[in-house]
């Protein structure tokens, strides 16, 4: 069984400062990794994904993440945040062996709060 730990439930950051949201996973098999963003009362929007290849993954809205297999981590970063980045961010994992079509395991989320 796999699991995902998002180490911070809440991260306050000043506008235009850099941010890192941490995600660690555990799995006994190869995995696919994802970051999603959720605005209040809405569905989830895909920010970026790691399926294979380069360990540095670039996504939408200036976000990027780095897959570190030895540390089983997939931290999300942005060099300069904006007020509009205030949202809930979820890290998720699926086992790649089943083609990734057997559902995602999610972390509990990190609430990113941008302060002016």
Partner 1 sequence: DGGITQSPKYLFRKEGQNVTLSCEQNLNHDAMYWYRQDPGQGLRLIYYSQIVNDFQKGDIAEGYSVSREKKESFPLTVTSAQKNPTAFYLCASSIVGGAQYFGPGTRLTVL
Query: Which residues of the chain form contacts with partner 1 (CB under 8 A)?
Result: 9, 34, 36, 41-46, 49, 51, 90, 92, 96, 99-109
Among residues 41, 40, 42, 35, which one has the least CA distance to residue 61? 35
Q: How far is the CB of 88 from partner 1 (least distance, A)?
A: 9
What is the DSSP pairing of strand 110-115 with strand 10-14?
parallel
Q: How far is the CB of 70 from partner 1 (least distance, A)?
A: 24
The Cα–Cα gap between 63 and 85 comes to: 10
Closer to partner 1 by CB, 1 or 116: give it: 1
Closer to partner 1 by CB, 69 or 108: give it: 108
Q: How far is the CB of 16 from partner 1 (least distance, A)?
A: 29
Q: Can you say how many angstroms the Cα of residue 10 is from the centroid of all Cα atoms in its chain? A: 14
Closer to partner 1 by CB, 29 or 101: give it: 101
The Cα–Cα gap between 31 and 92 comes to: 10
């Amino acid at each position: 069984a796999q699991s995902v730990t998002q180490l911070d439930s809440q991260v306050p950051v000043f506008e235009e400062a850099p941010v890192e949201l941490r995600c660690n996973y555990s799995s006994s098999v190869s995995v696919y990794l994802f970051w999603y963003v959720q605005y209040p009362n809405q569905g989830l929007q895909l920010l970026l994904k790691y399926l294979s290849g380069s360990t540095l993954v670039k996504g939408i809205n200036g976000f990027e993440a780095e897959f570190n297999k030895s540390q089983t981590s997939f931290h999300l970063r942005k060099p300069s945040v904006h007020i509009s980045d205030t949202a809930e961010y979820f890290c998720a994992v699926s086992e790649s062996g089943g083609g990734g079509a057997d559902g995602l395991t999610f972390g509990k989320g990190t609430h990113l709060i941008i302060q002016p």
